[in-house]
Structure 1
């Protein structure tokens, strides 16, 4: 056990050194980074490290233009002092409900320097969801963009409010809500001392089946970055286009990594596929971070539009957050080359596996292998470990980033020290992992087990199908039957019989959906996950 741990640590250090995160031979700088991470958390520490190492380099580009790492650091200092002057201090729960822009980044960093507890709110929340989460997490300060004002009706007046982004200054007349830009401009931006206790931060689950749960990230380490960098070759001093929202685990992890590497982060408040390609070209981005629905919108652009932009700088298209279908990954590979890196993880387990472009070429649809510091195992319903390839089992994950229980006291199942991801999957003969679906989405139809993702992936392989979702609905004879929701491509004449015939020709008879409904679009949350509870 000890030998394995030492070997893992040595390998992690090697990965971090190769990426440029550990600045050998400046060991003192590396130790300073480790100390900052422990005292003020990953957001503030990565920003502080970047400001120290690369003060004049551009650290962020948004709609308002560029900011250097030093400018971002000074703005967060000023916000800390401004908040302290208003009675916001260590231990305060600060929630942010913002799209991706400079003041979200500054607020996150300031919360760490303050020793406050940061809660990242989903911009797709409804008013009741926002109020429920704010009450459960004991939010005292809410930072939000002006566009979300209408969702705050159920938030108590005792919660202090701050505007991070203003679209219409005229609408502020008669209101006394502080604006972050004004508070920052009127405050001292000198360095602030470290808090006596780190505040930590909380990510929220997607909430596709109810009120989102809080997954705290109180234990983070610079060494954990090796879990990403081991199989995703990000390098120091490059540029990343962050399409995935920061409130999501995918976006926030890659934001922290990019800053810790001293790399420029390019972001936009709303995702636009063509603007993304333009941003990649203008900033010579080497990495593009997306959820699968964003990648889908890019590859669905007219080929002439795609050819307008020089994306040859891209070495990495990092995709995570939901399943990447073999068809979509292959189409992206044809357009951009061998750059697809498909990460599998969750809010709770963080990183589980990563598929490299080489893995994807061998086995489209795979989520790859565990990187350094991660372990993945499969278990059957009785808790017995599955070791044979091709056998589906429940996925359990172990890593230094796994959470230690939800904020409401509940936890995920644990076997042999590994945490349940809630998914089922199988390994192939080469040790590559495939996710077959959610454990709770398995459908039993006439005694046969069916996972919807297999039928969904089959349907989207058709050029006349843009999207598909499959669910189980009650059936008197078989217990459950499959129902498919299909989004047709423009001009398609595909009908219900055509869908059924196609599935029947390519898979087992019991996997053919009896019901087919054509829809204009699938209901999705802000990170692209299908809201299956809205499909009936």
Structure 2
């Protein structure tokens, strides 16, 4: 099966990855050489298969040499969010048990937080200068300037942490790949459904510390293509990158679609997108009307997939299938889907229940209770989503179990209300959740981000509630609407609802 070494030998001077609109790029020959040096560095540090490293970098091409080096040595690699507070970043490094921590020069505070409480004796490398604490990565890597043959063995794997929407983030860990063939096979569904090969030019507009951007850039490199990484998403720059680099594949989240569609018509028409053959979106629910607008603009190249960081299963759906199964996230392409009621009985078509996959296994690191709660007696696993299958086996998600509102004994799923409000021309973003109500237990609250914040008035709140009542059952409609200048979302589109809910904990 093709490996990094294979591509380095087949087209050594081809660009493996580059930073969009910058001078930073790396060829397959150089990436292979530097990854080999990283493996030697980890061996010299005494790491063995099953040990771990942690990485705290901005979107930096050195991510790829570190990961390939770790993979070759059978080492787990944990990307750390660049937006965490220093102690939060240090917590993840400690909790993961990482033996080596590679941190960018600007993350001195996180390095100091780890150094102040470093029970496992994690070795710190500073990447990119500023050697206040730890070893100089460039200097140490330079000691391994001769290529060596790496013996075959287990293949390293990512070890991501959840975003920590309730309590501390939890590590999500799967068994290592037993060998290179198993590692390559884990990406077959990406190549088969989305057509990744050595002609792929993949645009990654999101941070590499997120699961999907990092995994899909790695699939691009496994396939011999070229990854184009943006340092930060900007709508018009993304279109310019597609034109300049002749991008064939890309990945987005719905908030990026909102911003792309918000560009003036003359800006959207300015760029040649003819190379663009596959636009993939995931990570957060996409309002159907928003997706229809993207299809109308980009054509039948829009694909969607659904999978969690747990990788216990996955679905995907093409434009053609979505247009005949509007709102679906597709059929299973990894694992088998089961929809179960609260008594673990399997439900029939269009009956809403908990979504389970009979697929790959995982554990929540250092949390056996949460791991046990994710399983049933058959060994199937759930990540907390709720939905149903139609007669053709297409999955429709209604919401997450933890987001469900129970008002007067009625189950209400916020995603349906959010999709409704998102259609209003004045609404830029919306979050719906339950707040305490003495009579009904909970009531529906909506918090809205307007396209023009100056329009926020009580009268507009009443107008938005009436807009909902025209389209939804009244029991589902918000009892009140508040306005925020910006909702707390991650770059991957996921909304921190708990941040908003904290303000409404007192009974109404």
TM-score (norm 1): 0.84
Q: Secondary structure at the match of 2:18?
A: strand
In the TM superposition, what is the alpha-carbon distance from 1:354 to its structure 2 partner? 0.7
Alignment equivalent of 2:342, drawn from 360, 381, 396:
381
Which residue is 2:498 aligned to? 533
* CA pair 290-50 structure 1, distance change in 2 beyond 3 A: farther
| Equivalent in the alignment of 2:122 | 159
Q: CA RMSD in A?
A: 2.3
Q: Does 1:413 align with 2:375?
A: yes
Q: Take 1:89 and 1:427, find their aligned partners in 2: how far apart are those partners?
A: 44
On the 8 A contact 1:204/1:215 being kept in 2, the answer is: yes
Higher relative contact order (CA 8 A, sep 6+): 1
Q: Is the 8 A contact 2:384 2:400 kept in 1?
A: yes
Q: 1:67 to 1:210 in 2, by over 3 A?
A: same
Pairing 1:59–2:16 present? yes
Question: Which among 109, 121, 137 is matched to residue 180 of structure 1?
Answer: 137
| Structure 1 counterpart of 2:437 | 475
The structural deviation recorded for 1:283 is 1.3
Q: Alignment partner of 1:384: what SS? A: coil
State the match for 1:392 in structure 2: 352
Alpha carbons of 1:176 and 1:437: their partners in 2 closer, same or farther (altered >3 Å)?
A: closer
Aligned with residue 294 of structure 2, among 311, 320, 332? 332
| 1:268 aligns to 2:233 (yes or no) | no
Any idea what SS the aligned residue of 2:207 has?
A: coil
Q: Out of 497, 500, 516, which is 2:465 matched to?
A: 500
Name the CA distance, whole Å, in 1 between partners of 2:195 and 2:39: 34
Structure 2 residue 213 is the aligned partner of structure 1 residue 251:
yes
Pick one of 518, 523, 529 that aligns with 2:483.
518
Among candidates 347, 358, 368, match of residue 320 of structure 2: 358
**Change beyond 3 A, Cα 1:414–1:352:** farther
TM-score by length of 2: 0.89
Cα separation, partners in 2 of 1:296 and 1:214, compared to 1, 3 Å: same
Mapped to 2, the partners of 1:383 and 1:128 lie a distance apart of 40
- Paired positions, count: 484
1:396–1:415 Cα contact (<8 Å) kept: no
1:444–1:480 Cα contact (<8 Å) kept: yes
Equivalent pair of 1:79/1:183 in contact (CA under 8 Å): no
| 1:79 equivalenced with 2:58 (yes/no) | no
Q: Where in structure 2 are the equivalents of 1:1-400 lying within 5 Å?
A: 30=1, 33=2, 46-62=3-19, 63-85=22-44, 91-156=50-115, 158-164=121-127, 166=128, 172=130, 175=132, 177-194=134-151, 198-220=155-177, 221=182, 222-371=184-333, 373-388=334-349, 390-400=350-360
**How far 1:407 moved relative to its partner?**
4.5
Rounded Cα–Cα distance in structure 2 between residues aligned with 1:277 and 1:113: 35
What SS class does the counterpart of residue 59 from structure 1 fall into? strand
**Distance in structure 2 (CA, Å) of the matches to 1:199 and 1:530:** 30
Q: Would the aligned equivalents of 2:284 and 2:494 in 1 still touch at CA under 8 Å?
A: yes
In 1, the alpha carbon distance for the partners of 2:136 and 2:491 equals: 25
Distance 2:48 2:109 in 1: 27
User: Could you tell me which residue of structure 1 aligns to residue 506 of structure 2?
Assistant: none
The answer to whether the Cα contact below 8 Å between 1:207 and 1:213 also exists between their aligned partners in 2 is yes
How much has 1:176 moved relative to structure 2?
Answer: 5.4
Contact 1:470 1:484 in 2 (8 A): yes
Q: Which moved more, 1:331-340 or 1:179-188?
A: 179-188
Matches of 2:336 and 2:154, distance apart in 1: 31
| Greater mean alpha carbon deviation, residues 448-457 or residues 261-270 | 261-270
Q: Is the 8 A contact 1:228 1:351 kept in 2?
A: no
Return closer, same or farther for 1:415/1:525 CA change in 2, 3 Å cut-off.
farther
Retained in 1: the 8 A contact 2:398–2:415?
Answer: yes
- Secondary structure of the residue aligned to 1:130 is helix
- 242-251 vs 260-269, greater mean Cα deviation: 242-251
Which segments of 5 or more consecutive residues in structure 1 lack a partner in the other structure? 1-29, 34-45
Deviation at 1:118, TM superposition (A): 1.6
